Each structure stands twice: as C-alpha cells, then as structure tokens.
Amino acid sequence: MSHFYLSHVRTVDEEWVASFFHDLCRVVARRTGRSPEAVGVRGKPQSAEVSVDLLGRSTVLVVLHSPRYFSQSYCRAELSYFQRRLNMQRSRTGRSADAVVTVRWEPDLAHSLEAVGPYPPLDVRSEAYRRDGLLHLLRLKARYRAEYEEVLEAVVDRIVAAGEKLPEVHGFDATGSHAPVGAPSHVGSQEVSFVVASTARDDASDERHSLQYYGKTVLDWSPYAPGEHEALVSLVKNTATALDFTATVLPLDEQTVDRIVREQDPEQLVVLLVDAWVAMRRDEHRLLAVVDERNPEATTALEPRARDDTESAEWAATLDDLLDRTLPRMRGRRTEYERWKLLDVESFTSSLRKVLIRLQNEALKSVEAVQSPATPTEGLHTFPLLGRYSS
C-alpha cells in the first residue's frame, strides 16, 4: 500500500513545503480512497531529527531537491536510508523499485537532478517547472495553476504506482554518513574503482550469440537483468555507498589500465567485474593480464555468470580455462568467499560486500605498515579491522 515520505530542507520555505505536502496528501488520498492523514509523512519542520520509524513505514521517498539539499545531514540520511533499502530489495529479488521520486524544488546549478542517484527524476512538460522549479510554481500559483497541477499529478502517479513494501535495514546512521550517489563525498569516505571488463553488443566475440546481456557501451553490460542497461553499475554503486565508499565505475580500456596501474596509493581499491567471454578478445585479454599484476592487497575480481545464461553454461570449460590463463594470480588466490561463477544477483551482492570489507582491511594494514615508528600505540593499528567477524 502506497505511503510516501517527503524529504526536504527544513526551516526554510516552510509555508510552501507545507502547502505542497497538504496538496500531495489530498490527491494521493483521493486516488487511493484513504484518509489524507494516512498516506504521507515528513520530518518535524523545526527539527533535524530523523525518524527511522517514519521512513521504514514508507514505500516512496519524495525528494524536494534544491542547492541546499545535500548540505543537510538529515536529508542525506533520509536518502541514504532509502538507497540501502532499495539495494537490499534488489539483492533479494533482482528487480529495481521506482521508490525515489526526485522533484526540482529550486534550480541547482552545481548538481543536476541525476546527482541524487540512479533514479529517474520527475518528467513533466512544464517549461516553467524545468526552468524555475516547483517552489516558483507554488509562489505564483495563480499564474501557474495548470503547471502546478501537472507536477502534482505526476508525483502522485509515481507514489501510487510504488506500493511494494521495501525491506527494513538496520544500523541506520542518523548523521547521514552514507553519502548518496552524486553527493559531495565527506571526509573519511574511501574510494573504490569498479572496472567493467566486458564489451559492447556490436563488439562481442563471434562465439558469443546471447547478445541480450549487452548494450551500446561496455557499462551497459547487464548479466543478471538482460535489457536493463546499467543495472550492474547501479548495483555496485549502491552497495559501495551503503558501506561508506565513494564509487567510480570505469570500462576496461587503455586509459583505465594506465590510471589504476600507475596508482601507488595503498588505499586506492580496484574491483574488476569480469565477463568471462571478454577474455576471447585479444586486446581485453592483454589488459586483463596487466591488471592481474596489480597489488593484490588492493585489487580483486568478481565474475557474474548468471544461472539463466545457458550459453555460458555450455561453454563453461572453455571460459574457465580462458580465465585461468588470463588472470592466473587472481584465479589462484584463495578467499573465504565466492568470486567466480556468481549465479545470481543475491550471491553477487553478498560477495561484493565481503570483497569491499576485505579490501578495506587490507588497505588499513598497508597504511599501518608505512606508519612512522613514533606512531603511538593507541594509533590506527589498535583499531579492530572492519568486518573481522563478518559472514
């Protein structure tokens, strides 16, 4: 049953936010046959408190995006909480839920609506809304009533369509330390580079006939959701964000390999996302071999190979042999988690979380190794390693 949470910058423009919230509740109630008091909530206007209970009961987050949105810890926390729920829902079902509705409240020259994350922003015809934002329409409602009603109905369409209950998440950080995708990274956020070793549809090897897993570019590779381009990119970004990483996704090419091989920072983490079929291509085979020589304490690989991909199952012996010859160091490295032939999105996400925690631990140990002998005993090396008892 649809229930929305309105996320916005508090204490400012309160009269207009309250007016929009009232109208939104009224129209959702009319559409669903429920009471206006039972269809939506928002945080206390004069407080920075974040209510996990209110967020957890909601199926949709409506974001009023403005230049000040990402500067407020409670806004980041609200968005982060929904990102983590969506990430868990996707890991369980393999499906993406349209549960974050981004509304242009005020124009933001520094961050586009797409900066909020991998969620489609509200799309309406109104030129006034696209240029000046919803707050402008509210202030001049007598002039822009038709445009305002169009935006209102479009938001309600998205709310009513998203009635699926999302999973609960625990360990919520009310300070919003889990920065959303596209938000300015905060101090202490560790960077990770995901390198996608796959191919565009038009460049697939002659032996590969199941082209539904590929798109126009390398980053469109979607091993678990054929036709849903960038699904893998969104999944790894959201998973990394939930673990307090700042994620960059790059295609495997000469420029990327030069960048990550030249990097000497022990904390610069690299996760190679490998499509086994790409090892059949000469150039990619060579680039993979170069990455295989990189510092093993900060580099690892994951190989999605979907259960439904019958062609890959038929070629399993050949693909395994190719990977053994192309990535001998990575393939020969023993770990306590699966990294190869990850058959579904749930096993992939589980392994990805463990990979990130392990890489973070290895990076911390590398930093300890180069600490000055004068480092006090109560310094960094006395902290317990993250994920030591993780499953």
What sign results for the dihedral spanned by CA atoms 217, 219, 225, 228? Answer: negative
**Class level of CATH domain 4-161:** alpha beta
Task: Compute CA 113 distance to the chain's CA centroid, rounded to the nearest angstrom.
Answer: 15
Mean per-residue pLDDT, 142-158: 95
CA distance 306 to 284: 21
Highest mean pLDDT: which range of 35-39, 282-286, 343-347, 382-386: 35-39
Calculate what percentage of the chain has a pLDDT beyond 70.
Answer: 80
Candidate CATH numbers 3.30.420.40, 3.40.50.150, 3.40.50.720, 3.40.50.10140; the one for domain 190-382: 3.40.50.10140
Average pLDDT value over all residues in the chain: 80
Confidence of residue 337 (pLDDT cuts 50, 70, 90): low
Residue 136: pLDDT above 60?
Answer: yes
Lowest-pLDDT range of 96-105, 187-196, 287-296, 372-381: 372-381
Q: Where are the domains of the chain?
A: 4-161, 190-382
**42-64, pLDDT tens digit by residue?**
998 888 888 888 888 899 999 99
Q: State the pLDDT at residue 177.
A: 38
Classify strands 60-65 and 100-104 as parallel, antiparallel or unpaired: parallel
Residue 382: pLDDT above 70?
Answer: no
**92-133, pLDDT tens digit by residue?**
777 778 889 999 999 887 766 765 666 788 889 999 999 999
Residue 158: pLDDT above 60?
Answer: yes
Residue 30: pLDDT above 70?
Answer: yes
Hey, what are 255's tokens? 């420029």
If you search the block for the tokens 């082209």, which residue do you land on? Answer: 211
Q: State the pLDDT at residue 354.
A: 83
Amino acid found at 76:
R
Confidence of residue 363 (pLDDT cuts 50, 70, 90): low
pTM above threshold 0.85: no
**232-243, pLDDT tens digit by residue?**
888 888 788 777
Mean per-residue pLDDT, 345-367: 72
The 3-state secondary structure of 159-188, one letter per residue: HHHCCCCCCCCCCCCCCCCCCCCCCCCCCC
Mean per-residue pLDDT, 240-257: 83
277 Cβ partners below 8 Å, 6+ apart? Answer: 198, 199, 204, 205, 207, 208, 312, 319
Calculate what percentage of the chain has a pLDDT beyond 90.
Answer: 26
Question: 213 vs 262, which has greater pLDDT?
Answer: 213
Q: Where are the beta strands (DSSP E) in the chain?
A: 4-7, 40-42, 60-65, 100-104, 190-197, 245-251, 269-274, 299-302
Give the relative orientation of helices 14-32 and 141-161 as an angle to the nearest 10 degrees.
Answer: 50
